[in-house]
Amino acid sequence: MIKIYYFAYGSNLNHFQMKRRCKDSIFLKKINLKGFKLTFRSKYRAADIELQKNSIVPGGLFEISKNDEKKLDVYEDFPTLYKKHHFKYYGKNVMTYTMVKKSPFRFPTERYLNIVKRGYKDCKLNLLYLNKQLKNN
């Protein structure tokens, strides 16, 4: 099986949701993506990341299969809504998704936000970061 490293920062942090969507996925650890900030946008009010100096986005590093990647492509509406962004993390090639159109901030729905918050707990991320990003947008 080909190993693909995937960085989750929104609803895919939620272990139950991720396992349901990507049956081969394995949560490895929490990591920080440097040079980006978290935001929410589009008509879906979904999570996105954008370049920002001296900023980080906490997230979860998952190992996924090629089949899982295909399922994520469908879920993320790749390449229409999200495009793939690749970066190096300790020598590993890591893939994540970023929105194609950088529309203005839109506060997430309560349902979506609760899924993301559950993901923060699942990955042992600091909820203060998420709350700060919601207030500062």
In the chain, the number of structural domains is: 1
For residue 114, give the CATH number of its domain: 3.10.490.10
pLDDT digits 0-9 by tens, 79-137: 999 999 999 999 999 999 999 999 999 999 999 999 999 999 999 999 999 999 998 87
Q: Which amino acid is at 81?
A: L
Domain span at residue 119?
A: 4-136
- Asked whether the beta carbons of 36 and 71 are under 8 A apart, the reply is no
- At residue 53, the pLDDT reads 96
Closest to 110 (Cα-Cα) out of 15, 59, 45: 45
